[in-house]
Amino acid sequence: MQENIWMSVGKPEHRIDALEKASGNIKYLADYSAPGLAHAKLVTSTHAHAKINAVDVTEAWKVSGVRAIVTGDMFPFHIGPILADRPPLAYEKVRYYGEPIAIVVADHEYQAKKAAGLVKVDYEPLPIVNSVKEAFQSGAPLIHENSGQYIKIISNVYPVQGTNIGSHIKIRKGDFITAWENCEVKIKETYSFNLSDHAALEPRCTRVEISPNGKVIVHSTTQSPYTIKKVLNQFFNIEVGNIVVHVPMLGGAFGGKGTVQLEPLAYLASKAVGGKMVKLEYDREEDLITAPCHIGLEATISLGADKNGRLIAGQYNFLIDSGAYTDQAAGITRAMALDCTGPYNIPNVWCDSYCMYTNHPFATSFRGYAHPELTFAVERTMDQLAKNLNIDPIELRKRNIIKPGNTSPTQTVLTANNIGDAEKCMERAKELIQWDQGQRIETNNGKVVTKGISTFWKTSTTATNAQAGAILTFESDGSVNLNCAAIELGQGTKTILAQMAAERLKMELNKVHVTMEVNTQNDPHQWRTVASSTTFLAGRAVMAACDDAISQLKKTAAIAMECSAEDLEVGGGRVYLKPNPEYGIKIEDIALGYKYPNGHTVEGQVVGHGRYVQRHLTPMDKETGFGKPGPWWSVGAQAVEVEWDSKDCTYKILKAVTVLDGGRIINPATATQQMRGGMFLGLSFASHEAFIFDEKGIVQNPQLRTYQIMRFGDQPVEYLVDFVETPAIDGPFGARGIGEYGVIGMAGALANALSSAAEVDLNHLPLIPELIWKTREEKLK
């Protein structure tokens, strides 16, 4: 018999926003229009690297309806979330193709667009840095001549003056040099891929107005409303209390809406027209090449082992293409270093992770925050090591899998609480992909069916003071309003939080009303909706708010029932005596206080408050990387089965498997959807997606018709998802974060499967048929 008959946690509850979305009633930010709304359009660079000699706006001013034109020299300062190295509008020089140079504000969008096309920029071309290899070379053209003078917003970013290194993060664990000399088996391989896009359905959009009393009111498609407040305060000298940020539900984000770019531009535009509300919306091409994108990478990994495949030493060199500015790529550089080994116990680790400036669009967070990228490289190396040792790839991974009692690359001691069971995930993935039935099968029609495996881990690299808050207000009918600053971007966060509240309060889910829009003036502070941390941070805050509300309910009920609060329990819409449950009072009768028959009322409305802040996290040491960067690691395994045609090197993805240990799974249905969505995204990144640059650094595929993503029919024939549940003691109901994990191992698993099929090492993405053909041809030479 279940102790809690109103149980919500662990049940596949329907998403609370499903009906509104399915019926088309949801209003996204770009849907908004109003009389008097001004529109802004950007003038963007046609060069990837050039001096700006002059910006001529003469003809643009002649367009009817133009109210303001803002250029970079009107705000010649740098901003940035980690390192302040990016001017909102380029001045003196441009550093990537598509970089904003000016903003035109007009009465109507078509007027602003026409005028923007008439702005003339006089350029003096500069040498192009078109890859991280070029950027890293001694004597390479400098993209930032004074990088050592930029203001650090966060202390652990380390630009190197006189180079194109935006930050350098080091891991030094054990004695790598001595251990490497004693390794019996060694392997060294290099991997790479180019920058790509997030390709969210909803392009980025914002509107900003400055009210007569000085309040700056921002509406934005953002994952980080409080970061917007921070940026506007730090760089524009606006008091934090005078900045109000509204966020509706988002039409996807995948990390790309976690940074701040449009909002300062729209603020400058509004200020230029006297505080009038200005809307700035990217079209798809701007969203692809002007907005921040997904990093590129060149990685070199060296692994040393004994003859039985036990890993002894690992060296990792990451050159991260952050594009023209560091933005969140400086944080990604750190995240890639701290989990560099993948989920393997390696006692001696040497890692150098570099954030490199190039003349490419600047990069920001992407779902997985460095982990899909490093996992691709690590898992390909593990497969190649297994081949050299003639050991089954899964067996090699099992011999080295990280477990409680081991330490992470940053020397955090792992426990049963802060890491899940990766070996159990591998065993289940092995079953689902039917590994033992054959890893490489040649069919009668000349095709080859192969399987690839990948294990992964990720800690949520959050700020050491990352936090969330929640407020519960009770209605007169006993229902509850839940307010928090978690952003609903399609991942189902608000449903999960509602389930937690319903479970804690022992009430039906439909009695919990969650406010979908975020308003920073009403909602308590939350760090950001990133890093798979919202269920953990906001979930703990919601639980605390529920406990506060329960305490208030018991106190009021104790007055009404003339008993001790300790004797009471809450559940089923009532507060009742534990030893005698039929004696109680309805919550609706005390939600706004208890009224005596004579009209006197005590206590008043029940308002529950809760908050949670990360605990015991530390920064990483600059020289060794020592520190505790995250609260826990979620681990898992993924597998792919492909059918490959040797005649034309095309392939079909038959199966994609994910097994994740996410602790207690709050909602199995939405968790499965999260994994499937992530698998699709990871396979698309692995098989199709990349920006193509010409020799001048100009993107050649800046539209969805030319930027290739997986489309209908390309997806796996079958998705298989399962969960291992090793509860995290400090997680809400034992949950860990799971939001990003479906994407992390897909590229590695697909590359391993196709490498087996084509019998060549495929170490570069995307895995298009042409690349496979070329790699085979080179091997035959």
Find the length of the chain: 781
Residue 6's pLDDT is 64
Q: Are strands 93-94 and 151-152 parallel, antiparallel or unpaired?
A: unpaired
d(CA 265, CA 503): 43
d(CA 90, CA 107): 24
* Residue in 256, 255, 222 with CA at minimum distance from that of residue 243: 222
Residue 686: how many other CB atoms lie within 10 Å? 25
Q: Which two tokens stand for residue 378?
A: 């690590």
- Side chain identity at residue 492, one-letter code: G
Residue 4's pLDDT is 58
Q: Which two tokens stand for residue 223?
A: 């994952």
- Full-model pTM: 0.95
Residue 391's pLDDT is 97
d(CA 394, CA 372): 19
Give kind and range of the element (H or E) at residue 133: helix 132-136
Exposure pattern of 434-446 as b/e (b: 16+ CB <10 Å)? ebeeebeeeeeee
d(CA 375, CA 457): 8
Taking CA atoms, 477 is separated from 484, 511, 522, in Å, by 21, 9, 23
d(CA 75, CA 90): 9
Q: Please, what is the end-to-end C-alpha distance for the chain in angstroms?
A: 69
Residue 616's pLDDT is 87
d(CA 433, CA 453): 9
Enumerate residue ranges in the chain where pLDDT < 70.
1-6
Residue 461's pLDDT is 80
d(CA 643, CA 650): 9
Residue 1's pLDDT is 30
Can you point out the beta strands (E) in 358-445? 363-364, 440-442
Contacts of 123 (CB under 8 A, 6+ apart): 45, 46, 47, 50, 51, 52, 53, 94
Residue 729: how many other CB atoms lie within 10 Å? 11
Contact between residue 431 and residue 451 where contact means Cβ atoms under 8 Å apart:
no
Q: Are strands 480-484 and 467-474 parallel, antiparallel or unpaired?
A: antiparallel
Phi-psi region of 452 (alpha: psi -120 to 50; beta: other; left: phi over 0): beta
Residue 2's pLDDT is 44
Residue 686's pLDDT is 98
Residue 734: how many other CB atoms lie within 10 Å? 18
Phi-psi region of 604 (alpha: psi -120 to 50; beta: other; left: phi over 0): left
Q: Hunting for tokens 């004693």 — which residue is that? A: 182
